[in-house]
Structure 1
Amino acid sequence: MLRGLYNAAAGMVTQQRRHDTVTQNIANLNTAGYKQNDTVIRSFPEVLVSMIGGEPGNPKHTIGKLNTGVFAEESMALYTQGDLRETGNTSDFAIVSELNVMNPETGMNMPFDASGRFISEDGEVTYRPQAFFTVQDENGNTRYTRNGQFQISPEGNVLTSTGLQVLDTNNEAVVLTGAAGNLTVNEQGFILDGAGNPIGPALGISVVDRPFDLVREGNGVYRLQSEEGVRMLANGDNVMVRQGFIEASNVDPSKSMVELTAALRAYETNQKVIQFYDKSLEKAANEIGRV
């Protein structure tokens, strides 16, 4: 009996974490560059149920599998492209990215699924690379973001909305010379002068081969435990910079509300199960035990 009680309790904890993840997504519907989180739920442990003395010659007849609980293993970000929203501000930038990876077996681009993964026939997983603005925190650490709502300091430094320094392709701080605030960039990210000619390096746009290794730090900023598999944008990459636009959150509000309702109903169901077990235990202790 207690096994069922523990299963229901594990289900409640899991649905609470699922609920928290969805509410975080909904809270960031209007956050530029925000990437939706999805909760990965797995069962534990998986038990093979058998019947002793089954068919003749088969003393153990397999009935099936039984899962004795679930848990929220992790929250994974969904790095799909968000819609572009025009702002008209010259300091706002959006990355439009659809990087492809060639399948060496077929010589064609890998057909990534909606989550940005391709699983080969032998089970090998390949992730769609993603492009990010390269920034630097106050401690000199390299960070990555899709939030292109930049601002320009009186000294000409190009900063993120939270004050992080924007870097160029040489991993140097982007500093405007001349009149601060006169920032013009082409689709390749190169800063242009008044005549439309590139001056100096382009905005630092990093391509991360395994985006699911990114760790959230808050405010749309990510970090990597290891810089392996990170490179600067190269010619031929299907990435474009749009000035005067920002990338909106990729959270689907309708899907999020359905997910929120489903988590709530599953939580209530497990709660009812616990109440049932509580009444059963109370009867066993106070009535049956008295006999």
Structure 2
Amino acid sequence: MLRGLYTAASGMMTQEQRHNTVTQNIANINTTGYKAVNSVQRSFPEVLVSMIGGNQSSEAGRKLGKFNTGVYAEESISLYTEGALRETGKTTDFALVSSFNVQNPATGENYPFDASGRYVDDNGEVIYRPEGFFTVRNEDGDTRYTRNGSFRLSPEGSLLSENGYQVLDNNNRPIVLTGSARNFTVNEQGEIMDADGNGTGITLGISIVSEPHGLIREGLGVFRMADPDGQTRFMTDTDNGVIRQGFIEASNVDPTQSMVELTAALRAYETNQKIVQYYDRTLDKAVNEIGRV
């Protein structure tokens, strides 16, 4: 009986985590460059049930079968699918349009990544699609990554992110624009031109993260590498990436699907709650009524 109580309680905690994940997505529907998060649930390992001595002719006893003893929220996975582009007309707003592919060395063809940006081969190995990010530097001098291209120019000419981080070029240096370069334009490869259309020798630093599942959210649309030695490189002309000036990338949250997930989590939570209440009433009868007989 108590096993069923614990199973229902674990289900309630899992659905609570699922609910929190969906509400976080809904709260960031209008956040520039926000990437939705999915909560992954997994059941506890199966337990083999056997009856010792149930079969006198067998020393090992009789096997009754297997059952699971609950579920838990294993992890939260970010979805890096691109959000819709929204035109702003501001020269300091940028959106990254990218679709980086990876070739299968055995066949020479690109891996068919799914909607979440991953592919599982015949051996069970998971391969992730590389993702591109604007490269910024925080106040501590640490490199961070973001899809929020809503930038601004400081009075000194430094290109800053929405939360005040320095935007880096493809030489890993902060971008500073002075003189005629303050009235700049940016081509699709990220090269910055001055007011006369002359090149400034500065290119936006678009980092390609080979294993985006290793990124950790820091809030405000900023990510950091879980492994400081993780593989990253700057985008080049040969990569399938385009910079759009005067645009920003909207959140990739699907509001309709989010409301479906929210309702499903609520219904599952209520179901487990009723089971807990049922076990509570059953235990009450066993202790306070049957015990007096």
TM-score by length of 1: 0.95
Equivalent position SS for 2:185: coil
1:263 corresponds to which residue? 265
Using the alignment, how far apart are the partners of 2:168 and 2:263 within structure 1?
Answer: 42
SS of the residue 2:292 aligns to: coil
1:42 aligned partner: 42
- Letter of the 2:260 partner, please give it: V
Aligned-pair CA distance for 1:45: 2.7
Matches within 5 A, 1:123-202: 123-179=124-180, 181-202=182-203
Shift of 1:191: 0.3
Superposed displacement of residue 60, structure 1? 6.3
SS of the equivalent of 2:149 reads coil
Q: Which amino acid aligns with 2:40?
A: V
Residue 13 (structure 1) aligns with: 13
Deviations 1:216-255 (A, max 9, x none): 0000000013232111112311111000110110110000
Give how far 1:46 is off.
1.2
Deviations 1:250-269 (A, max 9, x none): 11000000000000000000
Bigger Cα displacement from structure 2, 113-122 vs 62-71: 62-71
Q: Counterpart of 1:289 in 2: which secondary structure?
A: helix
Indicate the larger mover: 180-189 or 130-139.
Answer: 180-189
Matches within 5 A, 1:203-214: 203-214=204-215
TM-score using structure 2 length? 0.94
How much has 1:72 moved relative to structure 2? 0.6
**1:272 aligned to 271, 274, 289, which one?**
274
Cα RMSD of the aligned pairs, angstroms, is 1.8
Q: Is the 8 Å Cα contact of residues 181 and 193 (structure 2) preserved in structure 1?
A: no
Unmatched tracts of structure 1, length 5 or more: none
Whether contact under 8 Å (2:180, 2:195) holds in the other structure is no
For 1:228, give the aligned amino acid.
Answer: G
Separation in 2 of the partners of 1:193 and 1:250?
33
Is the 1:152–1:180 Cα contact (8 Å) retained in structure 2? no
d(CA) in 1 for partners of 2:62, 2:90: 70
Change over 3 Å in CA distance of 1:5–1:176 after alignment to 2: same
Indicate the residue corresponding to 1:250 in structure 2: 252
Report the AA paired with residue 14 of structure 1.
Answer: T
Instruction: State percent identity of aligned pairs.
Output: 64
Total equivalences in the alignment: 290
Alpha-carbon distance, 1:205 to partner = 0.5
Give the 3 Å change call, closer, same or farther, for CA 84–13 of structure 1 in structure 2.
same
Q: Write the distance in 2 (CA, Å) between the matches of 1:50 and 1:35.
A: 47
Q: State the one-letter code of the partner of 1:127.
A: Y
Superposed CA offset, 1:124-183 (max 9, x none): 111000000000000100000000000111110000111000000111110001157523
2:248 is matched by which residue type in structure 1?
I
Q: For structure 2, list consecutive stretches of 5 or more residues without a partner in the other structure.
A: none
Q: For 1:102-117, list aligned pairs within 5 A.
A: 102-117=103-118
The answer to whether the 8 Å contact 1:188/1:240 transfers is yes
Q: 1:235 aligns with which of 216, 234, 237?
A: 237
State whether residues 8 and 70 of structure 2, in contact with CA within 8 Å, keep that contact through their aligned partners in structure 1: yes
Moved >2 Å (runs of 4+): 48-54, 56-65, 194-198
Q: How far apart are the structure 2 equivalents of 1:149 and 1:60?
A: 67
The code of the aligned residue for 2:271 comes to T
Q: How has the CA–CA distance of structure 1 residues 103 and 14 changed in structure 2, closer, same or farther, with 3 Å as cutoff?
A: same
